[in-house]
Amino acid sequence: MNKAEQTRARVEAGLKRRYAAERRFRAYGLGAVLLGLAFVVLLFSTLVSQGWSAFRQAYVTLDVQYDAAIIDPEGTRDTATLSTADYAALVRASLKARFPEAQSRQETKALYALVSSSAAQAVQARILGDPSRIGGHERLTFLANDRVDQLLKGRIDRNLDEDSRSLTDQQVGWIDALAADGALSLHFNKGFFTQGDSREPEQAGVWGAVVGSLFTLGVTLLLSFPIGVSAAIYLEEFARRGKWTDLIEVNINNLAAVPSIVFGLLGLAVFLNFFGMPRSAPLVGGIVLTLLTLPTIIIASRAALKAVPPSIREAALGMGASRIQMVMHHVFPLAMPGILTGTIIGMARALGETAPLLMIGMVAFIVDVPKGLSDPATVLPVQVYLWADSAERAFVERTSAAILVLLAFLIVMNAAAVYLRNRFERRW
Amino acid sequence: MNTANPPVPENCSTVGVVTVENAVLSARGVDVYYGEKRAIKDVSVDIARNQVLAMIGPSGCGKSTFLRCLNRMNDTIEGCRVTGSITLEGQDIYDRSQDVVPLRARIGMVFQKPNPFPKSIYENVAYGPRIHGLAADRVELDEIVHTSLQRAGLWDEVKDRLTQPGTGLSGGQQQRLCIARTIAVNPEIILMDEPCSALDPIATARIEDLIDELREQYAIAIVTHSMQQAARVSQRTAYFHLGDLIEVGETDRIFTNPRHKLTEDYITGRFG
Ligand SMILES: Nc1ncnc2c1ncn2[C@@H]1O[C@H](COP(=O)(O)OP(=O)(O)OP(=O)(O)O)[C@@H](O)[C@H]1O
Ligand SMILES: [Mg+2]
C-alpha cells in the first residue's frame, strides 16, 4: 500500500463516525427545537382556552321606567338634582317588575345582584344626555354581574349543590328565564379594551394598564435608547482602552445581572423619597426601567459597533472624515440593525418587568385610565399580577386575557423592530 | 511655500540620497513604536512632487507602518507612538496645532484591501467632496464624481449603475473606485498600500497606467511586493528591512546597481 492509498483508507474508516456524529447532533437540535415549540404551544393553548372567553361578556336587557317621582320629584330638572338621583332604584324597579315573585328581603337582594352596579351609571347617562326622557321608558342593555357571566360561560357548575356555588337555585332560575327571553346573552366585551381596572370583575378592563405600559415604555425608550447608544458609541469609538474602560465594562456587565427589584428600591429611594416625584407615575416607572434596560442596550450596541469592519473606519478617516462623521455616516448606520435588536430585547424585558414597579407604587389599584406621565398608573404585567391575586372566579379568565393582550403588545413591538431592522439592513 | 529640505540627521545609515529637489513631504529620523516594539527605526526620506516613490521590502519590515505615519492613520491604533518629524511643505504634521482632518484631505490613502463604503457608487465618490464642502451644488458634485471616476478609468464600466452599491463591484473595480474616491478631494499626495495585491494582471495594468497619469499632478508613495511593478511605475525606490530604511535611490539605479548587500539579495531573489 502506498502513502496515498493509506491516507484514503484512513479517511474512509473515519467517515462513518463523522457522519454519525453529525446525525446525532442534528437529532439533538431538532429535539430541542421541538421541545421548545411544545412549550410555546402549551402556553398559548392554555392562555387562549382560559382567556378567550373574557373577550365576550354577558349583557342583560331590561325595560327601565324613567320614573319622575324617583329621579326628580320636584320637577326642577336642574343638573344637580338629576346627577344625584337614585338611578339604582330604577334598575331595581325594572328587575322587580320583571320578576315580581321575589318578595323577601333576601330574595330581592339576590335578584338585584344579577345586574352590575354600573347599570345605575348607564341610566344616569341616558337621563343627563336628554332629560326629556323622564317619564318615559326604554329598553336598556346593562352589564350582567360577573357570576351571571360565569354561569353563562359554563364556568359555574349549575349541577353543584346550592351551598357550594355562588349563585342560588332561584338566581339560576331567573338567569335561565332571562336567557330564554333573549334578554340575557354574551356579546363582544368592549369594556375590557376601553376601561381601567375595577373591583367588579365585569367592569374591569385592561386599557388603563395598556396605556400605563405605553407611557412607561415610551419614557423608557426615549431615555434608554439615546443614553445607551451614546454610551456605547463613546466607549467603543472614542474612549481610550485602559483601566477605567475595563472597570466601566465590568460594571455594566454586572449591572445587567442585578435583580430588578434592586432597581425598584433605588427608584423608591432616589426618585420618590429624595426628588419627591409622584408615586405610581409612568414617568418614574419609565426612569426605573431605563436603569434596567440600559446595560442590555449598551452591551448589544457595543457588540454591534464592534462587528462593523475596521476597514470602513479606516476608509472614512482616510478620506478626512472627523471621528464623529465616521461614526455617524458609516459605523452607526451599519450597526443599527444590531442596536435595534438589543433595544427591542431591552424593551421586551422592560415590558414584562413587575418587581421594580411594585416598589414605586405602580401596584396601586387604579380605576382611571392615565392621561399623562405623572398620573397614577399601572402596567400590564402588574395588572396580571393584581388580577391573578383576586378571589373572584371571573378574574381568572381576565388574567389570561390580560396576558394575551401583553403578548399581542410584545408581538407588535417585535414586528416593528423586525421591520425597522430590515429597512436598515445593508450588506457589505 | 517653504520647500527647503529639513536637514538629514547625522547618524542616518541609509545608503543613497534620501533628499530630493522638490520635496513635498519629508520624514526625518522617524521612529514608530507599537507599545514597546520598535517597528520603524530612524527613517529619513523625501517624497517629491510629480514623482512615484516605491517602497519595497520583505513582509513585516514596516512598509505599511511607515506609509500610515505619513497621513497620521497610525493615530487610530492604540499604543502606536511616532517620534521624529514629518513635514508637509515645512509644516510638522505631528505638531499639536496640526488638525488631522484637513491633513488627510491633503494626503489621501488607498488601502491594501479595497474598502468601498457600503453605499452607492455615486455616494462613495461624492463622500469626500461632501464632507469637505468642495461642491457648491449638485451639478458641481456630479461633475466631480464624473471626472474622478473617469480618471480612475472606471466611468465607462459604472456610468449606468451609479446608484448601485459600490460593494457589488468586482475587486479590481472596487480598488479603482477607492482611487476615484481618493482623488475626488484633490489631494496633494496619494499613499497607496499594495493597491494591486488582489488584482489580476489586466486590472493591475490599468491601475499602473492610472498611477503614471496621476503622477503628473500628485506626489505618490506606493508600497508593493512586486519588483516589476516598482520598476514600472516608480522613479525612486526605497528598500526597507526589519524597520530600517536600507537604501534609497533612482529606481533604475537600485535595480541595476544596488549598493547595499541586503538590497541586492532582496532584488535578486535571494531573500524574502
Ligand atoms: N497594530 C499593530 N500592533 C502591533 N504591532 C504591529 C501592528 N501593525 C504592525 N505591527 C508590527 O509592525 C511590524 C511592521 O508591520 P507592517 O504592517 O508595517 O509590515 P509590512 O512591511 O507592511 O508587511 P507586509 O508586506 O506583510 O504588509 C511587524 O512586525 C508587525 O508585526
Ligand atoms: Mg503592509
pLDDT at A414: 87
- Is the residue at A77 inside a domain? yes
Q: What integer is the mean pLDDT of A208-212? A: 94
| Shortest Cα distance, chain B CAs vs residue A243, angstroms | 14
Report how far residue A150's alpha carbon sits from residue A54's, in angstroms, rounded to the nearest whole number.
Answer: 10
Lowest mean pLDDT among A6-20, A154-168, A398-412: A154-168
Same-domain pairing of A88 and A112: yes
Task: Give pLDDT, residue A426.
Answer: 60
Closest residue on chain B to A237 (Cα):
B76
At B170-211, the pLDDT tens digits run 888 899 999 999 999 999 999 999 988 877 888 888 889 989
| Cα–Cα distance for residue pair A205/A215, rounded to 1 Å | 17
Q: Is residue A42 part of a domain?
A: yes
A318 and B104 within 8 Å at the Cβ level: the answer is yes
pLDDT at B89 over 60: yes
Q: Which long-range contacts (CB under 8 A, 24 or more apart) does B201-205 make?
A: B202/B172, B203/B171, B203/B172, B203/B173, B203/B175, B203/B176, B204/B229
| A220 lies in some domain | yes
Query: Do residues A104 and A127 both lie within one domain?
Result: yes
Distance from CA of residue A24 to its chain's centroid? 41
One domain for residues A355 and A264: yes
- CA B99/CA B236 separation, integer angstroms: 30
- B30 SS3 class: strand
pLDDT tens for A319-358 read 999 999 999 999 999 999 899 989 998 999 999 899 999 9
Each residue of B29-83: pLDDT tens digit? Answer: 999 999 999 999 999 999 999 999 999 999 999 999 999 999 999 888 888 999 9
The total of other beta-carbon atoms located within 10 Å of residue B168's CB is 15
pLDDT at B160 over 80: yes
pLDDT of residue A144: 92
Indicate the pLDDT class of residue B19, thresholds 50, 70 and 90.
confident
Write down the pTM of the prediction.
0.84
Atom from ligand 1 closest to the CA of residue B77: 1
Question: Within this chain, do residues A281 and A336 fall inside the same structural domain, yes or no?
Answer: yes
Q: At what angle do helices A332-352 and A394-424 cross, to 10 degrees?
A: 180
**Which residues, in sequence order, are bridge partners of residue A187?**
A57
From residue A76, alpha-carbon distances to A64, A82, A88, A138 in Å are: 21, 9, 20, 22
ipTM score assigned to the predicted complex: 0.89
Atom of ligand 1 nearest to the CA of B240: 21
B36-to-A239, B32, B48, B62 alpha-carbon distances in Å = 22, 10, 32, 15
**With 80 as the cut, is the pLDDT of residue B2 above it?**
no
Residue A254 lies in a domain: yes
pLDDT for res A42: 95
Q: Distance between CA atoms of B121 and B142, rounded to whole angstroms?
A: 12
DSSP for A335-377, please give it: HHHHHHHHHHHHHHHHHH--HHHHHTTTTS---SPP-STTS--
The answer to the question of residue A16 being in a domain is yes
Q: In this structure, which ligand is nearest to the CA of B238?
A: 1
Task: At A37, list the grid cell.
Answer: 415549540
Pair A23, A115 in one domain: no
Using a CB–CB cut-off of 8 Å, the residues of B that contact A are 71, 73, 76, 78, 101-105, 108-109, 111, 113, 115-118, 127-128, 131-132, 165, 167, 178, 181-182, 185
* pLDDT tens per residue, range A381-406: 999 999 998 888 889 999 999 999 99
Report the separation in Å between the CA atom of A336 and the middle of ligand 2, taken as the mean of its atom positions. Answer: 31
| Contact call for residues B173 and B153 (beta carbons, < 8 A) | no
- When pLDDT is cut at 50, 70 and 90, the band that residue B4 belongs to is low
Report the amino acid identity of residue B257: N
* pLDDT of the residue at A226: 96
Same domain, A188 and A305: no
- Name the domain boundary from A197, A221, A252: A197
Backbone angles phi, psi at A414, to 5 degrees: -65, -40
**Same structural domain, A15 and A117:** no
| Residue B99 with chain A: CB contacts under 8 Å | none
Q: SS3 of A257, please?
A: coil
Does A71 fall in a domain?
Answer: yes
Q: Per-residue pLDDT tens for A42-62? A: 999 999 998 989 999 999 999
Judged against a pLDDT cut of 70, whether residue B1 lies above it is answered with no
Task: Note whether A180 and A237 are same-domain residues.
Answer: no
Q: Give the domain range for residue A118.
A: 54-197
**B54 Cα to chain A: minimum distance (Å):** 20
Q: Given a cut of 50, is residue B90 above it in pLDDT?
A: yes
DSSP 3-state of B270: coil
Pairing mode, if any, of strands B236-241 and B52-56?
A: parallel
Task: Give the three-class secondary structure for A293.
Answer: helix
Of A197, A224, A243, the domain-final residue: A197
Measured in degrees and rounded to the nearest 5, phi and psi for residue B16 equal: 95, 180
Tell whether A364 is covered by a domain. Answer: yes
Tell me, yes or no, whether A202 lies in a domain. Answer: no
For residues A30 and A94, membership in a common domain is answered with no
pLDDT at A428 over 80: no
Q: How confident is the model at residue B153, as a pLDDT?
A: 84
Supply B149's cell numbers: 471616476
Report pLDDT for A427: 53
Domains identified in chain A, total number: 3
Residues of A at the B interface, defined by Cβ within 8 angstroms: 240-241, 309, 311-322, 325, 329-330, 334, 426-428
Which residue is closest in CA terms to ligand 1's atom 30? B60
Q: What does the radius of gyration of chain B's CA atoms come to, in whole angstroms?
A: 18
Taking the CA atoms of chain A, what radius of gyration do you get in angstroms?
31
- Residues of chain B with Cβ-Cβ distance to A316 below 8 Å are 117, 127
Q: How far is CA B179 from the centre of its chain?
A: 11
Average pLDDT over chain B, rounded to an integer: 89
**pLDDT of B96:** 86
Is residue A214 over pLDDT 70? Answer: yes
Average pLDDT, stretch A104-115?
A: 90
Closest Cα to atom 28 of ligand 1? B60
Q: Which phi and psi (to 5°) does residue A106 adopt?
A: -65, -45
| A182 lies in the same domain as A281 | no
Of A197, A230, A257, the one marking the end of a domain is A197
Residues A303 and A213 reside in one and the same domain: yes
Q: Are A312 and A350 within one domain?
A: yes
The half-sphere exposure of B222 on its side-chain side, counting CA atoms within 13 A, is 31
